[in-house]
């Protein structure tokens, strides 16, 4: 639906991506309005079921963002997340969810501009899928 706000749920690690998003906001970088951010202690907290539940409750897209590999505040949480989320992402086509609707990525606290770019690209990709179907 052209013009419709896409609803995106973002699970953001408290120690990096959440601060990065905050930075993007403070710098007044343009970001889509339909983004709903849920702060989590670590990307390792993001159970793949949280992602599926968000889709089931009507999210158009789900974005998970944590610390870059090697930088996890707790040592290995993002490595655990990576394994689970990669599996989930590959399962999505069989579940009837376009893989473009899900993305996991690494954003540090100082990467406000990178965050804004990721969100905007992700949103555009979802819009493309919505228009295509």
Partner 1 sequence: MEELIPIIKKALEQVDVVLGWAQSPAAGVAVPAFFHTPAEADAAVFDSTCAHNLAVYLPRLADKKVGIVAKGCDARSIAQLIAEGAVKRSGVFVIGASCPGMIDVKKAWRCFGFGKQVCDAAGKVAMEGKTVAREEILLWKCRGCRDPEPVICDVTVGEASSEAPAPPAEPAGIRKRFAAMTVAERRQFWQDQFSRCIRCYACREACPLCVCRDVCTIQAHEPGWAGAAVDSPQSWMAQLIRVNHLAGRCTGCEECERACPVGIPLMLLLEEQNDVVEELFGYRAGGEAKPPFLTFDIKNDTWDEER
Nearest distance, CB of residue 30 and partner 1, angstroms: 28
Whole-Å CA distances, 7 to 15, 68, 107: 24, 25, 21
Closer CB to partner 1, 22 or 98, in the complex: 98
Buried b (16+ CB within 10 A) or exposed e, 110-131: ebbebbbebbeebbebbbebbe
Of the two residues 27 and 47, which places its CB atom closer to partner 1 in the complex? 47
Could you tell me the smallest distance in angstroms from the CB atom of residue 126 to partner 1? 13
Cβ proximity to partner 1, 22 vs 73, nearer residue: 73
Give contact residues for partner 1 (rule: CB under 8 A): 48-49, 52-53, 56, 69, 75-76, 79-80, 82-84, 86-88, 90-98, 133
Cα 101 to Cα 81: distance, rounded to the nearest angstrom? 18
């Amino acid at each position: 639906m052209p013009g419709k706000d896409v609803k995106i749920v973002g699970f953001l690690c408290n120690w990096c991506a959440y601060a990065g998003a905050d930075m993007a906001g403070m710098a007044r970088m343009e970001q889509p309005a339909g983004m709903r951010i849920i702060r989590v202690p670590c990307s390792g907290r993001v159970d793949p079921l949280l992602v599926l539940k968000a889709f089931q409750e009507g999210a158009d897209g789900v974005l998970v963002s944590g610390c870059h590999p090697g930088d996890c505040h707790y040592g290995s949480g993002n490595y655990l997340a990576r394994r689970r989320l990669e599996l989930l992402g590959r399962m999505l086509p069989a579940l009837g969810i376009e893989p473009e609707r899900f993305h996991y990525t690494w954003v540090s606290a100082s990467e406000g501009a990178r965050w804004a770019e990721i969100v905007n690209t992700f949103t555009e990709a979802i819009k493309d899928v919505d228009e295509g179907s």
